[in-house]
Structure 1
Amino acid sequence: MPSAPLARQLAGHDPYRWLENRDSDEVLAHLQAENAYLDSKLAAEQPLREALFEEIKGRIRETDLSLPTPWGDYLYYQRTTAGDEYARHYRCRRPTDGSLTPDTASETLLLDPNALADGGFLAVGAFSISPDQQRLAYSLDTSGDEIYRLFVKELASGQISELPFDDCDGSMTWANDSQTLFFTELDDTHRPYKLYRHRFGTQNAEVVFEESDERFFLHCYRSSSERQLILQLGSKTTSEVWVLDAATPEAAFTCLAAREEGHEYDADHGMLDGQWSWLIRSNQSGINFALYRADEASPQRPHWREIRAHDPKVMLEGATLNQRALVLALREGGLPTLEVLPQGAPAYRVQLPDAAYSLYVQDSLEFHSPAIRLRYEALSRPAQIRQLELATGAQQVLKQTPVEGPFDAEAYESRRLWATAADGTQVPISLVARRDVFAAGQPAPLYLYGYGAYGESLDPWFSHARLSLLERGFIFAIAHVRGGGEMGEAWYRSGKLEHKQNTFGDFIACAECLINEGLTQPAQLAISGGSAGGLLIGAVLNQRPELFAAAIAEVPFVDVLNTMLNPDLPLTVTEYDEWGDPNQPEVHARIKAYAPYENVRAQAYPAILAVAGYNDSRVQYWEAAKWVAKLRATKTDENLLLLKTDLSAGHGGMSGRYQGIKDVALEYAFVFKALRINKD
C-alpha cells in the first residue's frame, strides 16, 4: 500500500509554492502519488462505491425527453439515452394544434455532444439559434479551462464552420439580421474584456468594446423583446450598461448610465402598458434595489421613472418582461417568491406548496406568450417545470423530474431551524430527513453544506444522489450563512471584506445548533463546501475542528492570501471587491487571520477529502495540493487526509452525467468510512 505522499518544503513563508509549477514532472508525480494514495486508502470501499453508483444511477431515468420549448416554426428539445454521457439537441416542426409532442417525422438532430466529446471532457457553452432559425451558433470547451472554440452550423445543409478566433469565453449573441454575431475574448487573467462583432462568412472581426478596468467583466445578450442587444459591464460593486438596436448591428452602442462606484443596475427591454420601454433595476435608492422604466427612445438615467420603490425588507432580485405581464423575482424572509403584474389586471403572488423551496423563471418563452415556465423544487420534492398563466395565475405541472424505483416524497420531512450567531444574528438552516429519523429523537449522522459568498443564495434543492444518504439514516442540512444572498443584500455585505469572519462564525453556530437540538453529534457530523465554500470549510476546520468528524472541500479556495497577492492569476483583481486587496497592510492582516492555508496548525483535524481540477482557471489546482501538503506535515491525528486531482477537468469537475455520479459515490463512500457508517 502506498504511503502518504510527503511534499518537500522550501524555506520561507510558503514552503509548498513549488507545487505551483504547472506541468513540471515533479508536480505531476506528486499529484499522481496523491491520487494513488487515495485509491489505496479507499480500496476497501470500492464495492460500496460501485454499489452507490448503481443505486444512484438506478434512480435517474437514463432515456428521457426534455420538455419541448416552442419558438417560431419549431419545437426545441433534448433527448438523453441510456449509456450516453450527454443529452442530444433536436428540433421538429411545431404542431399546429399547439401540443408539445415532438413530430418525429420532421425531427432534426442539431448537436450531439457525445460524438464531439469522443470519450473526453466536453462543455457546451453557447447554444444559440439565429433569429431566422437557419443557423446554430455553439461553443465548446474540451479541457475544462473554460476557453472555448466557436462554431456555426447551417441547419439546412448541416455544414459546420469553425470561426477563426482564439481565447473566447464561449458566449455568442446574434443580431436580428441572423448574419452578425457578437462574441467575447478573454484576457491573460481569464477575464472577458473585449466584445467583437463578426459577420458570418467573413474571416475577420471588429472590436466593439474593450474594458480596461481589470475589475470589470463584460457580457452581451439579447433583451426579452428580442429588439435590443445589451452589453453588461460589471465589477462586484459597480455596473454599466450599453445598448444597441438588434436590427442595426453595425451602429454604436449607447450607454444608459455611466459607471459610478457603488451603483449597480441592469436593464431589459419590453412592453409596459402597451409601449416599448426600458426596465431598469437599480440600487441608487437602496441596497435591495428599486425598479424604474424609461421610454424606448430615451433610456439614459435622467429619464428613469421609479415604478417600484426600494423596500428594506424585500430584495428585488430580478424582473422578467413579457408582452402580457411583468414578473418580479423577490426575496423575503430568506425565501424566493414571484410577483406577477399582468397588463391591465391586479398584481398577485405565485402560490406554492412547500415551506422552503427553490423557485425561478426558467423560460419566458416567446415574448407574446400568454404563459411562462417556472422551475420549482424542494428538499423532498423533485424539480418541476410549471406553466404559469400570466393573466390568471393558474399553474400546471408540465414535467416533474422522475425518480425511478421506490420513492415516496411523503416519507421525507423538511424543516427550517434558526441558529443564533455570536452577535445574536439569527441564521436559517434548511433540513431534510426521513420522517422516522426525525421521529426517533436520537442524534443521527448529518451532512451539513455551506457556501456563503458573492451574494449567492443556496435555496433548497432536490437531489437523486442525496437519497442514498437519507435512506441510510442521514439528515441533510444547508447553512444559509452570511455572505450569501438568502436574506437580502445586507446579508451578503455582512459576510464579505472586513465582515468575512461572520461567514465562518455563522457556520459554526449552525453546527452547534444542530448538535444542541439533539439532531446529531460531532462524531456523526460531516461538512462540505466547494470553491468559496471550500474556503469556508478550511476556515472552520482550523477554528473548531473538534465539532466535525469529516469534511469535503471541492475545488477549495484555501490559499486565498497568496492568490490575492498575485494579480497575474485569473480573477484576482476582480476579487478585491469581495475579499479586499492584501497589498494594503490592514487587509493583508485581516485575510491572513482566516486564510485556511496560513492557519493550519498542530492540532487534530477530522477526516478530510479535498478535490481539485488540474485545468481549473478559477481556483488553481495547487490551492488544494498545498493545503493538503501542509495539513499532512502539521496535524497531530491519524485521520484520513486525501487529495483527488482530476487531471483532465476544470472547476466543475469531470464532464458527463455518469462521471458526475462516480464522483458523488466516491465522496459518500469517504463519508461513510470516516463516520463508520454501516456500508449496506
Structure 2
Amino acid sequence: MIRWAAAASLAAIAVAAAGQEAPRAAKRPHPVVSPNGTRNDDYYWLRDDTRKNPEMLAYLKAENAYADARMAPLKPLADTLYAETVSHIQQDDTTVPYRENGWWYQTRFVKGGDYPLVERRRTPDAPAELLFDQNAMAKGHGFFSLSAFAVSPDNKTIAWAEDTVGRRQYVLKVKDITTGRILDQGLTNLEPEIVWIGDGKSLLYVAKDPVTLRGYRVMLHALGTPASADKLVYEEKDDTYQMGIGKTADDKFICITVSSTVSDEQRCAPVDQPTRFTVLAPRAREFRYSADHAGGRWVIRTNKGAKNYKLVTVADAGLSGGTAAWRDLTRADDKVFIEGFQPFDSFVAIDQRQGGNRMIRLLGQDGRSTAVAADEPAYRMALATNREAGATSVRYTYGSLKTPTTTYEVDARTGERRVLKVAPVPGYDPANYVTERLWAPARDGTRIPVSIVYRKGAKRDGTAPLFQYAYGSYGYSTDPAVDPSRIALLDRGVVYAIAHIRGGQEMGRGWYDDGHLLNKKNSFTDFIDVTRFLVAQKVAAKDRVAAMGGSAGGLLMGAVANMAPTDYRVMVAQVPFVDVVTTMLDASIPLTTFEYDEWGNPAQKRYYDYMLSYSPYDNVEAKAYPAMFVGTGLWDSQVQYYEPAKWVAKLRATKTGTAPLLFRTNMEAGHGGKSGRFERYRDASEWQAFVLDQLGVAGN
C-alpha cells in the first residue's frame, strides 16, 4: 500500500528542494517476496503506478531542485555546449524523397521547428501537399510523438497514431487528406503499427493490454464505427511474446508476427482477405524467422541450421508446407551475421555484419552476390526507405564516427553507386577527425571491437580524457555515426569510444548468447576491460574516464559502478534498468514477461541468484562511487521511474566519498526523454557539462 506524506516528511523534502542539501528519501522497510527468498526494500514506497503520490512527487522535485542548484555554476558551459550543438544542425533540412503507390513522400524541417512537416508530391518537382504539421500538432503538449503513418490504397485517406504522454500508449486518428476532416479518432491504447486492408475502408491495429501494455490483440476496425464493433482477428495468449503487424514489400499480404527472445511465429493473409491467415511455420523454442514477399516468392530469414541466420525461399504454393518446403538462398556462415533483408522482384538486398561492421550485400536471381564497398575501418551501412518492389536499385545509408550519414542508391545490375544526399553538418569538417577500429582483449581472451574517434593531432601520451559508451543487451548492436552533440566534446580533446561488448550482435548471434542470461556479466567485464585496454594503450588518462549507458545500458553503468568504481571519474546513466530482480518478479510491469529469456525468470533459483549477484540496486555498498548523473522520465513505460529513484536514494544513504550524485526526472517524458529535435540536445548539454567539469576539461 502507498504511504502518503506526513507533514514533517514533506517539510524535510522542502528544505532539500531549496537546493541546500542533497535530498534524503525516508527508509520504510518493505518485504519483496519471491519463491527463492524475501528481500527488504527500504525505498519500495517510491513506486506509485498512478504517479500522484504527493510525497513521491515532492522527492523527485527535490532532486530536480538539488540538481538545479549543483548545476547552476555550470549553466554557462551547458548553454555554450547547446549553442555549439545547434550550430551543427541544418535547421531547414529535408529527407530524400521516396516513391510509394504513385506519390513521392518527404519530411521537412523549418528553422526553429522541433518537429518535421510531412509532405507528398505527385512528381518530385510538383507542389507539395501537406500531410502533417507536427509543430502545430504538438502545441499544448509537453510530449508529442507521431507513429509511422499509413495511406489508404486509393491515396485519399491517411491513418496515424500519436502519443502525447510518452508512455507509448498510442491513439488512432484518421483523416481525409484533401479536406483535412477527421474521420475517426476513437481508439486508444494501441501499438503504433496500422495496416489498411484492400478496400481502404477498414484497417488492422494492435491493441495493448491495459496493465502490462503488451500488444496482444489484432483487431479489424471499420472506419466510422465504435471500438465496441471491432472484430478480433488474432489474440496472442502467451505473455512472453510481443506482437507486430505490417505489409509485405509488394503490398500483397498482411502479416502478423509474434516474437519472443528465442522464438518467432508469422501468419500472413492476402491484403483483401484479412481473416484468412496462414502460419508460415509453427513456433518452437530456439527457432526464429521472419518472412517477406516480392517477385512471386517468399524470402525468409531463419536460424534453422544457421546460428548466424541464412535466407531461404518458398513459392506461394508451398507456403503451407512449413520448413520442409524451404530452399536455401544463402549458406550458413560463422563469420557473417545476417541482420535483415529486403526482397525486390529481381534481387534481394541483405543487411549483414562481418568483422564488427554492418554492411550491405546484393543477391541476384542467378545466385551471385556482391558486397557494397566501404572505405573506412569502422563504419555502418543500413537499408534506407525502399517502398517499391519493382525497383532495380536499392537505397542505403553509410556513415561512421567521422563521416556524416550519406544516402546512396546502388544499381543491383551494374553495381554503380550514386550519392543522393550527404546529411549536412554545418561547421563540421570530417578531415579534422580520425576514426579507428581497435580490438581490446577481454579477461577470458575474447577480442572486443572498439570504435574510436578523436580530433586529428591528438597525442597518444596517456593524458587525454575519454568518453566511453556501450549498450550490450537484447542483441542490439551499436553502430558508429556522427552526432552533432558529440562534436563539442571532440573539439575539447575528448576521445569518444564505443565498446561493442557482448550482449549485442556486432560479431554474430554467439556474441549475444555470450552476453545474456547466465552470461550477462560478460557485458560488464567487457566494458571494464575495454576501459583498461584504452588506458594501457595511452589512448586516455586513467583518472579522466567517463562512461555512459541508457536503459539496459544503464544497468551496465550500475553494475560497472559496483564492480570497478575506481576505473571511472564520472558516469551518466539514463533511464537505467537497475532493480533487476524486483522488476523481473513482477509480471504486471510492462516488458517483464517478454524478457525472461533475456535476463532469466527469478522464480527459478539459478536465475534469481545470478541476477541478484549483479543487480545494481541490490549491490550498492558503502564505498566511494564515481561522480554520477542519473536521468529518468516520470512516464517511462520501459524502465519505470522508480527504479532509478530508488537506486539514487540508496546510493545517497550508503555511498562514501564526496563525488557528486545528481538525479534529473523529466516530469513530462517517457523512455526516450523529451520529444522534439532540440529538446534532447538541451538535456544532453546539461550532463555533458557535468561530465566535462568532472574530467577537468577547461573552457565554456
Same fold (TM over 0.5): yes
What is the match of residue 97 of structure 1?
none
For residue 65 of structure 1, report the CA deviation from its aligned partner. Answer: 2.1
Range with greater deviation from structure 2 (69-78 or 542-551): 69-78
Q: Distance in 2 between matches of 1:172 and 1:486?
A: 31
What is the match of residue 15 of structure 1?
42
SS in 2 for 1:42: helix
What is the match of residue 129 of structure 2?
108
For residue 344 of structure 1, report the CA deviation from its aligned partner. Answer: 4.6
Pair 1:223 & 2:252 matched: no
Q: Distance in 2 between matches of 1:582 and 1:679?
A: 48
Range with greater deviation from structure 2 (425-434 or 72-81): 72-81
Q: Of 280, 286, 296, which aligns to 1:262?
A: 286
What is the match of residue 450 of structure 1?
470
Q: Distance in 1 between matches of 2:183 and 2:161?
A: 11
SS in 1 for 2:543: helix
For residue 261 of structure 1, report the CA deviation from its aligned partner. Answer: 1.3
Q: Of 171, 178, 182, which aligns to 1:160?
A: 182
What are the superposed Cα offsets for residues 139-190 of structure 1, whole Å, 9 maximum, x if unpaired? 1000000001101111122211333222211211112322221100111211
| 8 Å contact from structure 2 (residues 578, 615) kept in 1 | yes
For residue 660 of structure 1, report the CA deviation from its aligned partner. Answer: 1.0
* 1:678 aligned partner, one-letter code: A
Q: Of 452, 458, 461, which aligns to 1:431?
A: 452
Q: Distance in 2 between matches of 1:131 and 1:298?
A: 28
What is the match of residue 200 of structure 1?
223
For residue 279 of structure 1, report the CA deviation from its aligned partner. Answer: 1.1
What is the match of residue 533 of structure 2?
513
Pair 1:214 & 2:267 matched: no
Q: Distance in 2 between matches of 1:230 and 1:315?
A: 24
| 8 Å contact from structure 1 (residues 231, 241) kept in 2 | yes
Pair 1:184 & 2:194 matched: no
Q: Distance in 1 between matches of 2:594 and 2:386?
A: 31
Length-normalised TM-score, structure 2: 0.93
What is the match of residue 523 of structure 1?
543
The 3 A distance-change label for structure 1 pair 370 and 286 is closer
What are the superposed Cα offsets for residues 582-604 of structure 1, whole Å, 9 maximum, x if unpaired? 11112111001000000000111
Q: Distance in 2 between matches of 1:38 and 1:103?
A: 51
Q: Which runs of 5+ in 1 are unaligned?
A: 95-99
| 8 Å contact from structure 2 (residues 190, 206) kept in 1 | yes
Length-normalised TM-score, structure 1: 0.96
SS in 1 for 2:502: coil
Range with greater deviation from structure 2 (312-321 or 455-464): 312-321
Q: Distance in 2 between matches of 1:205 and 1:495?
A: 43
| 8 Å contact from structure 2 (residues 195, 205) kept in 1 | yes
Q: Of 293, 297, 321, which aligns to 1:277?
A: 297
For residue 363 of structure 1, report the CA deviation from its aligned partner. Answer: 1.5
Q: Distance in 2 between matches of 1:639 and 1:584?
A: 38
For residue 679 of structure 1, report the CA deviation from its aligned partner. Answer: 2.5
Pair 1:67 & 2:96 matched: yes
What is the match of residue 575 of structure 1?
595
SS in 1 for 2:65: helix
Pair 1:675 & 2:700 matched: no
Q: Of 172, 178, 194, which aligns to 1:172?
A: 194
Pair 1:411 & 2:429 matched: no
Q: Distance in 2 between matches of 1:292 and 1:64?
A: 40
Q: Distance in 1 between matches of 2:262 and 2:368?
A: 35
What are the superposed Cα offsets for residues 231-275 of structure 1, whole Å, 9 maximum, x if unpaired? 1111111111100011323x321111111111111101111xxxx
What are the superposed Cα offsets for residues 559-597 of structure 1, whole Å, 9 maximum, x if unpaired? 111101111111111111100011111211100100000
Q: Distance in 2 between matches of 1:440 and 1:207?
A: 63
| 8 Å contact from structure 2 (residues 85, 681) kept in 1 | yes
Q: Distance in 1 between matches of 2:367 and 2:311?
A: 19
| 8 Å contact from structure 1 (residues 672, 679) kept in 2 | no
The 3 A distance-change label for structure 1 pair 308 and 73 is closer
SS in 2 for 1:308: coil
Q: Equivalences for 1:300-449 in 2 at 5 Å?
A: 300=320, 301=322, 302-344=324-366, 346-405=368-427, 407-437=428-458, 439=459, 441-449=461-469
Q: Distance in 1 between matches of 2:169 and 2:154?
A: 28
Q: Distance in 1 between matches of 2:219 and 2:64?
A: 42
| 8 Å contact from structure 2 (residues 395, 409) kept in 1 | yes
Number of matched residues?
665
SS in 2 for 1:431: strand
SS in 1 for 2:292: strand
What is the match of residue 243 of structure 1?
268
What is the match of residue 579 of structure 2?
559
For residue 345 of structure 1, report the CA deviation from its aligned partner. Answer: 7.7
* 2:289 aligned partner, one-letter code: Y
Q: Distance in 2 between matches of 1:464 and 1:152?
A: 35
What are the superposed Cα offsets for residues 507-555 of structure 1, whole Å, 9 maximum, x if unpaired? 0100000110011123210000000000000000000000000000000
Q: Distance in 2 between matches of 1:47 and 1:673?
A: 12
Q: Equivalences for 1:657-672 in 2 at 5 Å?
A: 657-672=677-692
Q: Which runs of 5+ in 2 are unaligned?
A: 1-18, 31-39
SS in 2 for 1:615: coil
Percent identity between the aligned chains? Answer: 37
What are the superposed Cα offsets for residues 53-95 of structure 1, whole Å, 9 maximum, x if unpaired? 111111111112221112233221111111111001111221x
Q: Distance in 1 between matches of 2:26 and 2:109?
A: 47
Pair 1:652 & 2:672 matched: yes
Pair 1:474 & 2:499 matched: no
* 2:291 aligned partner, one-letter code: A
Q: Distance in 1 between matches of 2:344 and 2:184?
A: 35
Q: Distance in 2 between matches of 1:236 and 1:39?
A: 40
Q: Distance in 2 between matches of 1:443 and 1:119?
A: 48
SS in 2 for 1:2: coil
SS in 1 for 2:617: coil
For residue 318 of structure 1, report the CA deviation from its aligned partner. Answer: 1.6
Pair 1:41 & 2:62 matched: no
Q: Distance in 2 between matches of 1:449 and 1:381?
A: 19
Pair 1:483 & 2:503 matched: yes
Q: Distance in 2 between matches of 1:417 and 1:443?
A: 19
What is the match of residue 143 of structure 1?
165
SS in 2 for 1:598: helix
C-alpha RMSD of matched pairs (Å): 1.3
For residue 196 of structure 1, report the CA deviation from its aligned partner. Answer: 0.6
| 8 Å contact from structure 1 (residues 5, 37) kept in 2 | yes
Q: Distance in 2 between matches of 1:324 and 1:179?
A: 32
Q: Distance in 2 between matches of 1:112 and 1:495?
A: 43
Pair 1:134 & 2:177 matched: no
Q: Equivalences for 1:527-676 in 2 at 5 Å?
A: 527-676=547-696
For residue 343 of structure 1, report the CA deviation from its aligned partner. Answer: 3.5
| 8 Å contact from structure 2 (residues 462, 541) kept in 1 | no
| 8 Å contact from structure 1 (residues 322, 364) kept in 2 | no
For residue 286 of structure 1, report the CA deviation from its aligned partner. Answer: 2.4
| 8 Å contact from structure 1 (residues 365, 373) kept in 2 | no
* 1:392 aligned partner, one-letter code: T
SS in 1 for 2:643: helix
Q: Distance in 1 between matches of 2:257 and 2:101?
A: 27
SS in 2 for 1:466: helix
What is the match of residue 36 of structure 2?
none
What is the match of residue 81 of structure 1?
110
Q: Distance in 1 between matches of 2:359 and 2:254?
A: 28
SS in 1 for 2:45: helix
